[in-house]
Structure 1
Amino acid sequence: MRRPATANVAVCLGVLVLVDILRVWLPAIITIFGQAASTPAELMGAFALLWFLLPLAVPALLRRTGAGPVALTAVVVLAVARLALTATPGGQLQLYLASVGLLAGLVWLTATAHTTVRPVPGLVLGLALGTIAHTVLGTYDLVWRGGWAAWTVSVVLVGLLVAAQARTPTQPVRAADAEDSAGVADTWPAVVQARSWLLVGPTVLLSGMVALSPALAGATTSYLFGAPTRRLAESTGGWGLPEGTLIGLAVGLFVLTALSRPHRSTRWWGPLALVVGVLLFAIGWIPALAPAILLTAAGLGACLALAGATTGEPAPAGSVAARRRSYAAAGGMLVFVVAAIAYYAAYDLGYPNGWAPVAVAGLVAVQASRPAPGAARDTPSPALRRAASMAAGGRAGRLAAALTALTVLGAVQIPGDSDDPAPRSAADPIRLVAYNIRMGFGLDGRFDLAGLVDVVAGEKPDVVVLSEVDRAWLLNGGHDTLALLARRLDLPYVFAPAADPVWGDAVLTRIPVRHAETRALPAVGAPTGAQALAVTLDLDGRELVVVSTHLQPPPDEGPVVQARAVASFATGYAGCRPLVVAGDLNTEPGEPAFAEFIRADLVDALADARPLPTSPADAPHGQIDHVLVSGGITPRDAVAPRSTASDHLAVAVTLAIGGGC
């Protein structure tokens, strides 16, 4: 059976749109269904799992209806849902539109597997083009942007998808093929075809988490501008050449290895590179992130090439082989969601999670390297195999080089951050904003970059302290929220990781930063990690210390131990210099954890404005976001501007900097 070009185009565009849907659906599970962590993690997991279990019923349906009508109907629903998500105001409507779109995408994928033998070319190009677009957009997806340009591109994209699917021919099942006869169910090509479809879900997961994540590449590059030994990241001047080079190389390696014909003598290196790359990512060692990205990209592509390589003619699209492929596609996406839940639920439930992506990488490696039954049959001559390998490698190399260049150039074109910070006089008051931004998602569940910028910029801050900063989590859509905000606020940043290298706290300021240091806080049973980031600001020869932190209380207790650790670290680091401690402290004034800061001779800078509730944002009744200062600093004009761009309100205060101790 020949593979029509339209089938590859349909798979490519379908993967693009499905990943777009996933970038909305995954965070909606947390922000809308999860209701700001008030919904049990087990219930959220069951809800997520349900949508991936339903497509397992599709192969049986296809025996009666045929794959063509089901795939086309599913694509139309997928296209409508994708466009509707840009128009929806958020909330429950967004959650269920994304869920319907996700289900339609999974049904389309399962039906497509019924009629399409080799998914690898379309899958690889779809993920590569999606990565390029995500990079050029600075990780701020079209679905969240709105505006005529985003609508135009979205309409064209889904229109092309529907047209490609409508033109994709399907092969009817012959009566003879419907029997479970030997030679159809057990031929090597049939096994290989199912194996390729099984790896679609794991490939989407590993590419989104590691191999093809522009946000992870950007965060990794920003660490190179900081000091890896201090585990700090700093502004890189925008999405310039270094970040574009890293993600461009990853795209090029992925495409080159995936679309080249593998050599039997080197079939060991792809699985090994994949497992090693994901292991480096899982251990969270910052200097290893760049090689982790490149190794995972090359290894993942090589494994896809191994899993999808066939010799001789592929098996016909009979019912047994077709059902095998359909179940494999649905099962692979089930692996995607189970592994994603297992990995990210650890940040709510508190258990080691590095094994989840490593287990998925191991699955891919085993499937790619496992010899297929009957592999020796219908094998071309060595000369013919070498010629085919050279031809495939040449085409893949040219395509990989073009995609790499496109990624790099697209990244370079995005504007950078501000110029070098200007000195600031100690006599000038400083406006400080502290904000828990909930990874950029508002109460309506939409990625509300504009709302966050409005709140912060409206206070005309000199220093911004941010909590819950996400720089690459697939669960949150794969955005580099910090870089997006820093560019729009025109403020350089210093970032310190807490839970892992791409989730933590930040300080943004145009005041020159002379030194910075981060200190990990004791976990004491809290599932999510915590840290304290201290930066030294140069006020025209005098120094001000600002400490950004986000305390994580253990279950049913206050964050007393962490508060004591922050107070000790902050006062010790500052010495006699003026000191500000700010962030989401998860404690109310007067509670034991708050008292630890008062005991360290810090003053509540928001006391004169109380009551100043900050949580929850739509009906605030508790104040858990704070600014505390040393005795030589005089606070005034404290406010908590109303907004639903996060589940917290920001707090802002003007500080007159006096002498130290």
Structure 2
Amino acid sequence: MRYRHLPTLTLALGVVLLVDVLRVFLPAVITIFGQAASTPAELLGAFALGWFVLALAAPALVRWVGARPVTLAAAVLLVAARLAVVGQPGGRLQLWLATAGLLAGLLWLAGVAATTDRPVPGLALGLALGALVHTALDTYQPPLGGAWASWLAAVGVAGLFLAGQARPAPPAGPGGARSWLLAGPALLLAGMVALSPAVARTATSYQFGLLRPHLGDDVGVATVPLLGPAPVAVAVGGFLLAALASPSRAATRWLAPTALVAGAVLFALERGELLLPAILLTAAGLGGCLASAGAADPLPATGGAAEPARAAGRRGYAVVAGMLLFAVAAVLYYAAYDLGHPNAGVPVAVAVLVAAVALTARPASGRAAPALPPVRTAACAALLTLLAAVVSDELLVASNRDGPPETVRVAAYNVRMGFGTDGRFDPDALARAVAGADVVALGEVDRGWLLNGGHDTLDLLAERLEMPYVFAPAADALWGDAVLSRWPLDEARTRPLPAVGAPTGAQALGVTVNFREGVRLAVVATHLQPPPGEEPVVQARAVADFALRYAAGRPLVVAGDLNTEPDAPAFAEFTRAGLVDALAPARPLPTSPADDPRQQIDHVLVTPGLAARDAVAPRGTASDHLPVAVTLTLPPAP
């Protein structure tokens, strides 16, 4: 019996809407409920997990009220929340709208599971379509009125979803629980690595960057890529081809689980040069594992007339349990950067679970392949994704065609992954905060964390400033520090800093700005992570030593969130090394927290030969820090 197209497409569109809501809910928990890290991490985790635990009651509600009325009501609420959260980009209302959308989505999944025993085609198409849309939007959908095309697309998807959901569902067989269990783990692996356009761009920026760092010193450094999200085309194509094809009954059925686990291991190693193979292996392996689970023999019907209700209940509990696994794994993985526990094994454990489910599935004899042609679907999706990547990508090339400058405006900004004090993700506001700067040192740069919505904050900001960049990882390959410049950059180097008890990693990134022949400026960007209740003295000493060695006598700027004040011991390590506080004439210059600045912890330090003037810390709430900016007079050419 051929699988019907309408339930598949309706499920796919619902998955797209649910993923969109999750991309708002997860960062809202951190930035709005979390109140800029003032809320204990344990309480954040309990708040996030509590809603998924509450959803365990959804299958009982479906059985009591009936699948159709519950599914229709939940679908309407999911659509309403999806449209509302973008129209309300920030604040507590956004948090509660996203929470309502999450609960509606989980209830909708439980209702759909009760009437669908073959969800894999719909789940796979939904994850792939979500990746395509996220790529076309350049990982960011502007708020209401910001981009009419994206809003028309969102309304169109919502309308088609509701129209399909209004149609009666075809009768379901007794199986499907195995496939529904994998919905949550598949969503996690797809959003974290396999089908993330932000991670794809970051992967290509490590291996195919346009700005070439100094040979031998570029390990771990990423630069502006050409067609950054292009690997998504290959990943989506491979994922769909594997997920919608009939699984092999031969020994090759081990290939997909092996590829999935191998990709997760490469991702867990947290090395930028391994991201690209991690994406491709995880995508193909995940698709193959879903296909194997979806083709498993249904459970035998032994309960007579009551068996369909029991099967529906099993599928409902399976899908909400799978989504609870998604939440637990996400919290465990990302909480490690606050609590300090090991987290590399989390994506590997999820991949092993998916692989085990796929390997224990017994291929169904005589079941027809899905009616959706997998090769054609995969090829079309890959082509559309590649076109979206080409359209959304911009080639950023630094130029000094306006002539050599006598002064350079330097800014330092801790962007907190792009989220403001009200929880609003607003790259336009970030760009306005450092407008006019020639060189910008960024801290807390996120390049694809699922927890933060899967945005490439660095690329979004670089496009708005029309400035190329160099990126260096700190916590992992997707989170760290960067330098942007209106002038050519080269000789990029990065040095990991001692952890000294802080769970989030730290590094020092050195780049050289080429203004004209004989005039070069060494810039070191860093974000010090102090031990709990202590000063980052050890890290400050390491940065000062690295910076002076890197500059090798050239004019030097050290900039970033140093988490120390001008009269503190860690700050003294820089002045003891001979650096000068470029912001001193404007002190006091508090920068944190942005909505009520009291601490002077963001700094620009220079070598004595660089005269500084016009130091400011412009007010704004695009991050939880204020940027600092200062104009430096360059020395004359020799």
Match of 1:253 in 2: 238
The reply on whether 1:514 has 2:490 as its aligned counterpart is: yes
The reply on whether 1:278 has 2:267 as its aligned counterpart is: no
Using the alignment, how far apart are the partners of 2:152 and 2:334 within structure 1?
Answer: 34
Match of 1:70 in 2: 70
Map 1:197-596 onto structure 2 (within 5 A).
197-224=180-207, 225=209, 226=212, 229-237=218-226, 240=227, 243-265=228-250, 266-310=252-296, 318-372=308-362, 379-380=365-366, 388=368, 395-422=373-400, 428-457=406-435, 460-541=436-517, 542-596=519-573
Match of 2:595 in 1: 618
Equivalent AA in structure 1 for residue 150 of structure 2:
A
Question: Residues 643 and 314 of structure 1: is their aligned pair in 2 closer, same or farther, counting only changes over 3 Å?
Answer: farther
Bigger Cα displacement from structure 2, 637-646 vs 135-144: 135-144
The reply on whether 1:633 has 2:610 as its aligned counterpart is: yes
Equivalent AA in structure 2 for residue 77 of structure 1:
L
For residue 554 of structure 1, give the secondary structure of its aligned residue in structure 2.
coil
Bigger Cα displacement from structure 2, 442-451 vs 314-323: 314-323
Using the alignment, how far apart are the partners of 1:158 and 1:487 within structure 2?
Answer: 30
For residue 318 of structure 1, give the secondary structure of its aligned residue in structure 2.
helix
Equivalent AA in structure 2 for residue 132 of structure 1:
L
For residue 612 of structure 2, give the secondary structure of its aligned residue in structure 1.
strand
Using the alignment, how far apart are the partners of 1:142 and 1:583 within structure 2?
Answer: 28
Using the alignment, how far apart are the partners of 2:528 and 2:255 within structure 1?
Answer: 43
Bigger Cα displacement from structure 2, 59-68 vs 113-122: 59-68
Equivalent AA in structure 2 for residue 335 of structure 1:
L
Equivalent AA in structure 2 for residue 359 of structure 1:
A
Task: Assess if the C-alpha contact under 8 Å between 1:197 and 1:329 holds in 2.
Answer: yes
Map 1:47-66 onto structure 2 (within 5 A).
47-66=47-66
Task: Assess if the C-alpha contact under 8 Å between 1:244 and 1:409 holds in 2.
Answer: no
Task: Assess if the C-alpha contact under 8 Å between 2:87 and 2:144 holds in 1.
Answer: no
Task: Assess if the C-alpha contact under 8 Å between 1:424 and 1:511 holds in 2.
Answer: no
Equivalent AA in structure 2 for residue 509 of structure 1:
S
Question: Residues 231 and 423 of structure 1: is their aligned pair in 2 closer, same or farther, counting only changes over 3 Å?
Answer: farther
1:324-353 Cα shifts (integer Å, max 9, x gaps) = 000000000000000000000000011221
Match of 1:186 in 2: none
For residue 496 of structure 1, give the secondary structure of its aligned residue in structure 2.
strand
Match of 1:178 in 2: none
Using the alignment, how far apart are the partners of 2:395 and 2:616 within structure 1?
Answer: 28
Using the alignment, how far apart are the partners of 1:339 and 1:311 within structure 2?
Answer: 28
1:550-569 Cα shifts (integer Å, max 9, x gaps) = 00011111111100100111
Equivalent AA in structure 1 for residue 186 of structure 2:
T
- Return the offset for 1:235: 1.1
Question: Residues 285 and 144 of structure 1: is their aligned pair in 2 closer, same or farther, counting only changes over 3 Å?
Answer: farther
- Return the offset for 1:138: 1.1
Task: Assess if the C-alpha contact under 8 Å between 1:426 and 1:657 holds in 2.
Answer: no
- Return the offset for 1:169: 2.5
Normalising by the residue count of structure 2, what TM-score does the alignment of the two structures yield?
Answer: 0.94
Task: Assess if the C-alpha contact under 8 Å between 1:442 and 1:645 holds in 2.
Answer: yes
Match of 1:124 in 2: 124
Question: Residues 84 and 63 of structure 1: is their aligned pair in 2 closer, same or farther, counting only changes over 3 Å?
Answer: same
Match of 1:179 in 2: none
Using the alignment, how far apart are the partners of 2:63 and 2:140 within structure 1?
Answer: 41
State the identity as a percent.
59
For residue 399 of structure 2, give the secondary structure of its aligned residue in structure 1.
coil
Using the alignment, how far apart are the partners of 1:519 and 1:535 within structure 2?
Answer: 12
Match of 1:167 in 2: 167
1:367-398 Cα shifts (integer Å, max 9, x gaps) = 010144xx7xx833xxxx7xx56x87x92011
Using the alignment, how far apart are the partners of 1:133 and 1:322 within structure 2?
Answer: 32
For residue 619 of structure 2, give the secondary structure of its aligned residue in structure 1.
coil
Q: How many residue pairs get matched? A: 626
Equivalent AA in structure 2 for residue 408 of structure 1:
L
- Return the offset for 1:246: 1.2
For residue 646 of structure 1, give the secondary structure of its aligned residue in structure 2.
coil
- Return the offset for 1:543: 1.5
- Return the offset for 1:289: 1.3
Task: Assess if the C-alpha contact under 8 Å between 2:176 and 2:298 holds in 1.
Answer: no
For residue 384 of structure 2, give the secondary structure of its aligned residue in structure 1.
helix
For residue 431 of structure 1, give the secondary structure of its aligned residue in structure 2.
strand
Question: Residues 544 and 3 of structure 1: is their aligned pair in 2 closer, same or farther, counting only changes over 3 Å?
Answer: same
- Return the offset for 1:133: 1.0
For residue 253 of structure 1, give the secondary structure of its aligned residue in structure 2.
helix
Using the alignment, how far apart are the partners of 1:428 and 1:332 within structure 2?
Answer: 60
Using the alignment, how far apart are the partners of 2:375 and 2:516 within structure 1?
Answer: 54
> Could you say what the CA RMSD is over the residues aligned between the two structures, in angstroms?
2.2
Equivalent AA in structure 2 for residue 130 of structure 1:
G
The answer for unaligned runs of 5 or more in structure 2 is none
Equivalent AA in structure 1 for residue 311 of structure 2:
A
- Return the offset for 1:660: 11
Question: Residues 85 and 219 of structure 1: is their aligned pair in 2 closer, same or farther, counting only changes over 3 Å?
Answer: same
- Return the offset for 1:516: 1.2
Using the alignment, how far apart are the partners of 2:637 and 2:543 within structure 1?
Answer: 19
Equivalent AA in structure 2 for residue 436 of structure 1:
N
Using the alignment, how far apart are the partners of 2:73 and 2:568 within structure 1?
Answer: 58
- Return the offset for 1:151: 2.6
Task: Assess if the C-alpha contact under 8 Å between 1:635 and 1:656 holds in 2.
Answer: yes
The answer for unaligned runs of 5 or more in structure 1 is 173-188
Question: Residues 143 and 113 of structure 1: is their aligned pair in 2 closer, same or farther, counting only changes over 3 Å?
Answer: farther
Task: Assess if the C-alpha contact under 8 Å between 1:10 and 1:165 holds in 2.
Answer: yes
Using the alignment, how far apart are the partners of 1:361 and 1:418 within structure 2?
Answer: 36
Equivalent AA in structure 2 for residue 196 of structure 1:
S
Match of 1:150 in 2: 150
- Return the offset for 1:159: 1.6
